[in-house]
Structure 1
Amino acid sequence: MSASEQAVGTSGAALAGDGAGKQRPRVLVAEKIAQSGIELLAQHCEVVVATDWDADTLRRRIGEFDGIVIRSGTRLDADLIARAERLRVIGRAGIGVDNVDVEAATRRGIIVCNAPQSNVVAAAEHTLALMLAVARRVPQAHASLVSGRWERSRFSGTELYEKTLGILGFGRIGRLVAARARAFGMQVVAYDPYVSSERFRELGVERAERPEDVYARADFLSLHLPRTPETERIVDAAALARMREGAYLVNCARGELVDLDALKEALDSGRLAGAALDVFPQEPLTEHPLFGYDNVVVTPHLGASTTEAQDRAGVQTAEQVVAALTGGVVTTAVNIPSVGAEDLELLGPFVPLCRHLGRIAVELAGGAAIERVEVELRGRIAERDTRLLTVAVLEGILRGRTEEEVNLVNAPALAEERGIAVSELKETRARDFTDLVRVTVRSNGDAVRVVGTVLGTRSRPHLLEAWGQRFNVQLERHLALFRYRDQPGMLGHVGQVLGRHGINIVSAAVGRHPEDGEGSGHDVAVMVVTTDQPVPPAVIAEVVEADGFYEGRAVDL
């Protein structure tokens, strides 16, 4: 044991207090967290704080601990997790768990938990701080004055009062930013198709139907989106061209959301008045042409860097680690919660099916604001505790569409926050199949229903109904759905278009008849094709351009 570790370890042992004769779980605090978090851990565990261990030391000694607390600087990959023979819980003092191989941990039965609400206030306040700083040119005025110049006329700014704040992404942080902006007298318009219209009304925020509507209205645009393939570089040259002349851009969310080259061009042309950035596509970043601009304010990813946020992260993580090691309820686990062995044997294969059905349903809804999700569970599965299946549906609906990371634990809370009502119906009889799952998504008076089941000795997920038509196709990672006039040649057209783009069809199925009188009639058909790679939106558009096609969707599961 090193001298530094021994000193810290002695301190940790002293904090442990009573119960020295009992065998306590051992927890390694591998990175700096708030002292209050360490004290909370020490009330229940033997704590070793070793923030100076190198990678080799951690690899050699991780097998000594029942729990570990990390931040972003420690990477727990599959190999390291395999060496952690005693490990029962990994606590991440922060939001993201990108540095943890969650799948490997789950296979080993290790709970992975985080502190998802620890920095939301800090991030919202930093967003407003940057907005004010770029509008009033505070950093530039400060630099000028401390260098010996008094240049009042040079630093005339812009007020927030009666300006319009546009927000992309209306999760926890986006809503906190909106509330603070309204206190400044700003009008707020936001886009988030996964937040109900009622929740927008409750917060006094105008709901935009499309991102383009936000671009056109905003004097200040603030980003609060997750990083997904759909949102990467969402603010590109085309988006910036739609923004109002003289607008400002603020990004405290993810660096990958903004095309920095396009932003530079928009600033050079004078279309944008300024920009404030706390995050960047590659970090750390210390050199960039924008850093020398007089109308750009930058900070080194400080959104969560407050004493209070770090204290909350340490305490919240410590609470979860203690719960995991003492038989309590872990409320921020990011991997699958425990299910009884008897139920898991039957329900396990339906978890991915339900996740897939939620994903497909929300894609077919076409970005409309979701107001209600109805889950029907029929057959043998209805005799079990099926709450996990309903949560899996919500996870499929929300994953990649909220600023927060969605998992089987927090999906119900995120749905509730967004004003999405959820209902579950169970019926022990199922028509035509032993078990059926029906998922209906309701929005703006419209309803989209998909139906699926698992089949075969390997319990493969199958899609049985979409857009009111029946078929049977085994779900693969990539699929595309088309709704069209029922006439010869339509399947061939889809195959030709996909073939021209090098996309191979794995399987295809067609449904021609509406169920129980639902749908548009016998002249409408629905085609589902599974493919060996994603089908880009441009390819979907090319298919649908043909006469007789009504709409198409691509879904990646």
Structure 2
Amino acid sequence: MPKIVVTGQLAEPALKVLGEVGEVWVAESQLGPDELRERVAGAHALVTMVGDRVDGAVADAAGPDLAVVANVAVGYDNLDVKALTERGVTVTNTPGVLTEATADLAFGLLLMCTRRLGEGERLLRSRTPWTFHLGFMLGAGLQGRTLGIVGLGQIGRAMARRAKAFGLEIVYSGRNRAPAEVEAELGARRLPLDELLRSADFVSLHCPLTPETRHLINADTLRTMKPGAYLVNTTRGAVVDEPALAEALADGVLAGAALDVFEKEPEVEPRLLELENVVITPHLGSATVETRTEMALLAARNVAAVLSGEPALTAVTA
């Protein structure tokens, strides 16, 4: 039977799908680069997580039978798609199934940082004495203000729908203009990035990580942002220069930030951990039982299709 290597834990329904088309080996913890190359030897399929770096060397270690690499994520910046496809390997991802869960978390993070919810909980858990008064722990309201969305793809649009329901005006930037019907539905206006940063009270990042978007938010662009603005990142950590963000937050250039992803996961820029005006969560964007199960199932179905000689459901290209 075909050998299938899975680099992390998957929901049981997905393992069942894989077990019907091959012999499955599942890693108990994240594999280091050397162990990954060792484990994939002779594999026909590889199911990967966002923390796995899979390039031509990994494909070569697997050998000529490797047919598919199925990434359990919508982003695939951890895969060298060009090198894999040049070796005849189909590369797949899991778009669509995590859209609503990630948008839920992104909007929740916006509320957490603007309303100082993390701060308030820490105050109570520390048993610090407090008394209610009208100036106590004031945050920022949302209604009538502007949310700037960087990357109006599926998740960005879902975030915009939530924001519109809360009375926010929507502006966006991105490589491509959204269809007219989407702009009309959301009441969204497309702006150049620098203008979006100057005008938005809140900025939410939903762009893919590419060479062009790596450290898109850096010391220069942070200085461009509207004074007192808030930043939310649920896309990829490397879109933000974390040391520069920490400095901007400490200096009061920004009012606050909320981050679910980090450039060197699981590490977090130490200065961010020391700031009260930062909300941080450990890559929970898609972390619901339903969503993670659907992601795993889609990855497994992609593997099953390719090993059965059929087209992948969600193939990606370089």
Does the alignment pair 1:116 with 2:92?
A: no
**The one of 105, 110, 118 aligned to 1:126:** 105
Letter in 1 for 2:9: K
For each residue in 1:281-320, what CA deviation from the matched residue of structure 2 results, as whole angstroms up to 9, or x when unmatched?
Answer: 3333245223222211122332233322321211001111
**The one of 42, 47, 55 aligned to 1:69:** 47
What is aligned with 1:94?
Answer: 73
What is aligned with 1:38?
Answer: 15
Does the alignment pair 1:279 with 2:255?
A: no
Q: CA–CA distance in 2 between the matches of 1:225 and 1:239? A: 16
What is aligned with 1:258?
Answer: 240
Q: CA–CA distance in 2 between the matches of 1:195 and 1:215? A: 17
Q: 1:98: how far off?
A: 4.1
User: Taking structure 1 as reference, are residues 193 and 76 closer, same or farther at Cα in structure 2, changes over 3 Å only?
Assistant: closer
User: Taking structure 1 as reference, are residues 320 and 273 closer, same or farther at Cα in structure 2, changes over 3 Å only?
Assistant: same
What is aligned with 1:145?
Answer: 124
Would you say the 8 A contact 2:70–2:300 is kept in 1?
yes
Would you say the 8 A contact 2:44–2:67 is kept in 1?
yes
What is aligned with 2:285?
Answer: 303
Would you say the 8 A contact 1:124–1:176 is kept in 2?
yes
What is aligned with 1:289?
Answer: 271
Q: CA–CA distance in 1 between the matches of 2:35 and 2:182? A: 51
Would you say the 8 A contact 2:262–2:268 is kept in 1?
no
Give SS of 2:65's match: coil
For each residue in 1:249-302, what CA deviation from the matched residue of structure 2 results, as whole angstroms up to 9, or x when unmatched?
Answer: 112223333344443443344342211122233333245223222211122332
Give SS of 2:197's match: helix
What is aligned with 2:172?
Answer: 190
Letter in 2 for 1:70: T
**The one of 169, 174, 180 aligned to 2:156:** 174
Write out aligned runs for 1:336-347 (5 A): none
User: Taking structure 1 as reference, are residues 183 and 327 closer, same or farther at Cα in structure 2, changes over 3 Å only?
Assistant: same
**The one of 50, 55, 73 aligned to 2:26:** 50
Q: 1:74: how far off?
A: 4.3
**The one of 165, 169, 190 aligned to 2:147:** 165
What is aligned with 1:548?
Answer: none
User: Taking structure 1 as reference, are residues 197 and 145 closer, same or farther at Cα in structure 2, changes over 3 Å only?
Assistant: same
User: Taking structure 1 as reference, are residues 268 and 102 closer, same or farther at Cα in structure 2, changes over 3 Å only?
Assistant: closer
Bigger share in strand? 1
Write out aligned runs for 1:209-358 (5 A): 209-335=191-317
Would you say the 8 A contact 1:200–1:207 is kept in 2?
no
Letter in 1 for 2:44: D
RMSD: 2.7
Q: CA–CA distance in 2 between the matches of 1:326 and 1:261? A: 47
TM-score by length of 1: 0.51
Q: CA–CA distance in 1 between the matches of 2:280 and 2:187? A: 28
Q: CA–CA distance in 2 between the matches of 1:89 and 1:235? A: 34
User: Taking structure 1 as reference, are residues 264 and 85 closer, same or farther at Cα in structure 2, changes over 3 Å only?
Assistant: closer
Letter in 1 for 2:118: P
Q: CA–CA distance in 2 between the matches of 1:263 and 1:66? A: 42
Q: CA–CA distance in 1 between the matches of 2:176 and 2:104? A: 24
Q: CA–CA distance in 2 between the matches of 1:93 and 1:219? A: 33
User: Taking structure 1 as reference, are residues 229 and 141 closer, same or farther at Cα in structure 2, changes over 3 Å only?
Assistant: same
Letter in 2 for 1:181: A
Would you say the 8 A contact 1:197–1:207 is kept in 2?
no
User: Taking structure 1 as reference, are residues 286 and 212 closer, same or farther at Cα in structure 2, changes over 3 Å only?
Assistant: closer
Give SS of 2:109's match: helix
Letter in 2 for 1:97: Y
Q: Percent identity?
A: 37
Letter in 1 for 2:18: L
Q: CA–CA distance in 1 between the matches of 2:83 and 2:250? A: 47
User: Taking structure 1 as reference, are residues 74 and 228 closer, same or farther at Cα in structure 2, changes over 3 Å only?
Assistant: closer
User: Taking structure 1 as reference, are residues 280 and 147 closer, same or farther at Cα in structure 2, changes over 3 Å only?
Assistant: same
Q: CA–CA distance in 2 between the matches of 1:181 and 1:250? A: 13
Give SS of 2:214's match: coil
Higher RCO, 1 vs 2 (CA within 8 Å, ≥6 residues apart): 2
Give SS of 2:147's match: strand
Q: CA–CA distance in 1 between the matches of 2:175 and 2:69? A: 33
In our comparison, the structure showing a higher alpha carbon Rg is 1
Q: CA–CA distance in 1 between the matches of 2:241 and 2:53? A: 28
Q: CA–CA distance in 2 between the matches of 1:317 and 1:280? A: 24
Q: CA–CA distance in 2 between the matches of 1:262 and 1:74? A: 26
Would you say the 8 A contact 2:107–2:159 is kept in 1?
yes
Q: Which runs of no fewer than 5 residues in structure 1 stay unpaired?
A: 1-23, 336-406, 408-557
Letter in 1 for 2:148: G
Would you say the 8 A contact 1:178–1:205 is kept in 2?
no
Write out aligned runs for 1:12-27 (5 A): 24-27=1-4
For each residue in 1:15-55, what CA deviation from the matched residue of structure 2 results, as whole angstroms up to 9, or x when unmatched?
Answer: xxxxxxxxx5443334211111112223x313323314967
Q: CA–CA distance in 2 between the matches of 1:262 and 1:107? A: 37
User: Taking structure 1 as reference, are residues 289 and 73 closer, same or farther at Cα in structure 2, changes over 3 Å only?
Assistant: closer
Letter in 1 for 2:161: A
Q: 1:179: how far off?
A: 0.5
Would you say the 8 A contact 1:193–1:209 is kept in 2?
no
Aligned length: 312
Letter in 2 for 1:127: A
Q: 1:198: how far off?
A: 0.8
